[in-house]
Amino acid sequence: MRKFVILAKAGIPLLSWFKPSGIPAFAGMTMLVVASPALAQDKQPPYWASIASGEAMTHTGPGRNYPNVWLYQRRDLPVRVVKKYQTWRLIQDPDGAKGWMLVTMLSDRRTAIVKPGAPRPVRTAPSDDARIRYMAEQGVVGRIDKCKGSGWCRIEIGKKEGYIRASDLWGVGQDEVVD
What DSSP character marks residue 49? Answer: E
pLDDT of res. 41: 55
| Confidence band for 172, pLDDT divided at 50, 70 and 90 | very high
| Rounded mean pLDDT, 14-28 | 34
What tens digit of pLDDT does each residue of 147-162 get? 988 899 999 999 999 9
What tens digit of pLDDT does each residue of 42-99 get? 789 999 999 999 999 999 999 999 999 999 999 999 999 999 999 999 999 999 999 9
pLDDT of res. 86: 96
pLDDT of res. 26: 37
How many other CB atoms are found less than 10 A from the CB of residue 172? 22
Q: Specify the length of the chain in residues.
A: 179
Fold matches, 25-109 and 112-178: yes
Q: CA 8, 136, 76 angle in degrees (round to 5)?
A: 35
- Decide if pLDDT at 20 tops 80: no
Strands (E), the chain: 47-51, 56-59, 68-72, 78-85, 88-92, 98-102, 106-107, 111-114, 120-123, 132-136, 141-148, 152-157, 160-165, 169-170, 177-178
> Cα–Cα distance between 163 and 130 in angstroms, integer?
9
- Decide if pLDDT at 166 tops 80: yes
Where do the domains of the chain lie?
Answer: 25-109, 112-178
pLDDT of res. 149: 86
129-144 as b/e, with b when 16 or more CB fall inside 10 Å? eeeebeebeeebbbbb
CATH of 112-178, one of 2.30.30.40, 2.30.40.10, 2.40.160.10, 1.20.120.790: 2.30.30.40
- Decide if pLDDT at 37 tops 80: no
| Confidence band for 30, pLDDT divided at 50, 70 and 90 | very low
- Decide if pLDDT at 36 tops 70: no
CATH architecture of 25-109: Roll (2.30)
